[in-house]
Amino acid sequence: MFKINVIGIGPGYKENMTGQAIEAINKSDVIVGYKTYIKLIENFLGGKEVVENGMKKEVDRCKRAIQISMENKEVSVVSSGDPGVYGMAGLILEILSKEHDIKQFDVRIIPGVTSSNAGGAILGAPLMHDYVTISLSDCLTEWNKIEKRIHCAGEGDFSVVIYNPKSKSRPDYLNKTQEILLDYKRPDTVVGIVKNAFREGQQTKITTLEKLHEAEVDMFTTVFIGNDSTYEHEGYMITPRGYSV
Restricting to residues 213-232, name those near a copy of itself by CB under 8 A: 231
**C-beta of 75 vs 84, nearer to a copy of itself:** 84
Can you tell me which of 69, 76, 78, 124 binds a copy of itself, judged by CB under 8 A?
Answer: 124
- The answer to whether residue 84 forms part of the interface with a copy of itself (CB under 8 A) is yes
- Torsion sign across C-alpha atoms 199, 204, 210, 214: negative
To the nearest 10°, the Cα dihedral for 123, 192, 157, 228? 80
Can you tell me which of 12, 33, 112, 226 binds a copy of itself, judged by CB under 8 A?
Answer: 112
Can you tell me which of 43, 47, 168, 234 binds a copy of itself, judged by CB under 8 A?
Answer: 234
- The answer to whether residue 157 forms part of the interface with a copy of itself (CB under 8 A) is yes
Q: Of residues 8-27, which lie at the interface with a copy of itself (CB under 8 A)? A: 8, 10, 14-20, 22-23
**C-beta of 74 vs 157, nearer to a copy of itself:** 157
Q: Of residues 39-68, which lie at the interface with a copy of itself (CB under 8 A)? A: 58-59
Pairing of strands 124-125, 105-110: unpaired
- The answer to whether residue 153 forms part of the interface with a copy of itself (CB under 8 A) is yes
- The answer to whether residue 113 forms part of the interface with a copy of itself (CB under 8 A) is yes
- The answer to whether residue 200 forms part of the interface with a copy of itself (CB under 8 A) is no
Q: Nearest-5° angle of CA 196, CA 200, CA 206?
A: 40
**C-beta of 68 vs 128, nearer to a copy of itself:** 128
Q: What does the alpha-carbon distance between residue 45 and residue 54 come to, in Å, rounded to a whole number?
A: 19
**C-beta of 34 vs 131, nearer to a copy of itself:** 131
Burial of 235 (0-12, 13-18, 19+ CB in 10 A): exposed
CB 134, CB 178: distance < 8 Å: no
For 5, 80, 84, 141, the CA distances from 239, given in Å and listed in that order, are 35, 26, 25, 30
- The answer to whether residue 199 forms part of the interface with a copy of itself (CB under 8 A) is no
- The answer to whether residue 75 forms part of the interface with a copy of itself (CB under 8 A) is no
CB 33, CB 79: distance < 8 Å: yes
Interface segment toward a copy of itself; rule CB under 8 A; list 68-76, 92-100, 175-183, 214-222: 92-100
Number of residues that bind a copy of itself (CB under 8 A): 80
Q: What does the alpha-carbon distance between residue 226 and residue 214 come to, in Å, rounded to a whole number?
A: 17
- The answer to whether residue 33 forms part of the interface with a copy of itself (CB under 8 A) is no
Name the nearest CA neighbour of 221 among 207, 238, 240.
207
- The answer to whether residue 104 forms part of the interface with a copy of itself (CB under 8 A) is no
Q: What does the alpha-carbon distance between residue 92 and residue 88 come to, in Å, rounded to a whole number?
A: 6
